[in-house]
């Protein structure tokens, strides 16, 4: 039993030698907190690695999808590459999609705590949570207040869990709402800005808070 467990740990560690850099190295030592990655839309490439990290240890992972951007295929590929069963990965990653900011709000404010209580994920990924807040059919003040409560709730939930927020730069269509990103920044324990040069095969990740540091994350090519 013990041997099995050790073996599993070993394969997982081995598997992630490829990923000894960011984003894992940036969040893996933390006991908990809110980690914000924002910038180039290519930053979603970070999510399978992050999810795979906990999934390979047999833990469930939560994925809160604010822009219908969940894509299972990179995760399946990752599982195959590191010699894990893709089915186990897919069975332990839990997704909830929100199409309106009221849904996103209700998800974080009302549903999340209970769901975390029954599945015990250590890692919670929020993908594009702001996207639904850019929808102008909801008045600005209403969206802003809701977002304020949402980020406050994230701040309360984060200690003891790793919350990773992936937030692409606001599109031009976000208009006056582009400042919503600052609400996330305010609550984040660490902030990383993700850049990608046109057609570059890697992302550069710069820490903005608390320290100024920079890393490179290679993208899958082909």
Partner 1 sequence: MTRKTLSGWIFDVYAVAGGMRLWLIDRSGKKHRLFERFSPVFYLGGAPAALKQACAFLSRLSLPLHMKPSEGIEFYSGKTLPVMQITVENPLHFKKVVRWVIAQENQKGRLGKTLVLYNADLSLPQQYFYTKESFPLAFCMVLLEDSRILALSVEDSPWATDYAIPPLSIMQLRMEGEAIDPAQTTARALEIEVEGRRHVLEGGHESVVVARFDRMLVRHDPDLILSEWGDPYILPKLLAAAARLNRPLSLNREPGKKVLSKKERSYFSYGRMVHRSQSRTLLGRWHVDVRNSFLVGLTELEGLFEFARLSKIPVQQMARTSTGTGITSMQMDLAFQDGILIPWRKRMPEAFKSASQLLLTDKGGLTYAPRPGLYESVGELDFASMYPAIMAKYNISPETINCRCCPENKVPEIGHHLCQKRRGLVPRFLEPLLEKRARYKTLKKAAADPALRRSYDERQSALKWGLVTTFGYQGYKNARFGKIEAHEAITAYAREILLQAKEIAEAEGFEMVHAIVDSLWLKRQDASETDYQSLSERISKACGIPIVFEGIYAWLLFPPSRRHLNLGVPNRYLGLFESGKIKVRGLEVRRSDSPPFIKAAQREMIDLLSTAKCASEYQKLIPKLKLCFERYREKLHSGHVPFFELAISKTLSKAPKDYQKASLSAIVAKELSGRGVDLVPGERIAYVIVDEKSKVPAERARALGFIDGTWSYDVQKYEQLLKQALEALYIDCMF
The contact set with partner 1 (CB under 8 A) reads: 62-63, 67-68, 70, 72, 75, 87, 89-100, 102-107, 109-111, 115, 119, 134-138, 141-142, 145-146, 149, 152, 171-174
Nearer to partner 1, 13 or 140 (CB): 140
160 torsion bin: left (phi>0), alpha (psi -120 to 50), beta (else):
left
Distance (Å, whole) CA 82 – CA 99 = 33
**Residue 53 near residue 24, CB atoms below 8 Å:** yes
Minimum CB distance to partner 1, residue 18 (Å): 22
Minimum CB distance to partner 1, residue 136 (Å):
4
Give residue for tokens 């590191």. Answer: 82
In this complex, which beta carbon is closest to partner 1, that of residue 18 or of residue 119? 119
Least distance in angstroms from the C-beta of 131 to partner 1: 8
d(Cα 40, Cα 30) in Å, to the nearest integer? Answer: 24
- Is the Cβ of residue 5 or residue 179 nearer to partner 1 in the bound state? 179
At its nearest, how many Å lie between partner 1 and the CB of residue 168? 13
Beta bridge pairs of residue 65: 97, 127
- Give the separation between CA 80 and CA 23, rounded to whole angstroms: 20
Q: Please, which residue, 67 or 84, has the CB nearer to partner 1?
A: 67
- Write down the least CB distance from residue 106 to partner 1, Å: 5
Nearer to partner 1 among residue 25 and residue 145 (C-beta): 145
């Amino acid at each position: 039993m013990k041997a099995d467990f050790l073996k599993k740990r070993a394969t997982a560690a081995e598997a992630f030698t490829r990923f000894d850099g960011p984003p894992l190295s940036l969040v893996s030592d933390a006991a908990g907190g809110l980690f914000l990655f924002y910038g180039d839309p290519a930053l979603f490439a970070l999510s399978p690695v992050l999810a795979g990290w906990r999934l390979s240890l047999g833990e469930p992972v939560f994925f809160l999808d604010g822009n219908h951007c969940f894509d299972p295929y990179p995760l399946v590929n990752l599982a195959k590459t590191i010699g894990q069963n893709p089915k186990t990965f897919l069975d332990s990653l839990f997704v909830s999609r929100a199409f309106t900011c009221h849904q996103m709000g209700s998800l974080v404010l009302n549903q999340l705590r209970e769901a975390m209580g029954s599945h015990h994920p250590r890692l919670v990924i929020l993908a594009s949570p702001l996207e639904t807040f850019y929808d102008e059919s909801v008045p600005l003040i209403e969206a802003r207040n809701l977002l304020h409560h949402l980020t406050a709730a994230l701040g309360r939930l984060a200690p003891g869990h790793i919350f990773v927020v992936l937030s692409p730069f606001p599109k031009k269509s976000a208009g006056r709402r582009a400042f919503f990103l600052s609400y996330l920044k305010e609550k984040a324990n660490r902030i990383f800005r993700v850049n990608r040069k046109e057609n570059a095969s890697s992302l550069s990740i710069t820490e903005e808070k608390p320290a100024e540091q920079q890393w490179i994350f290679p993208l899958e090519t082909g």
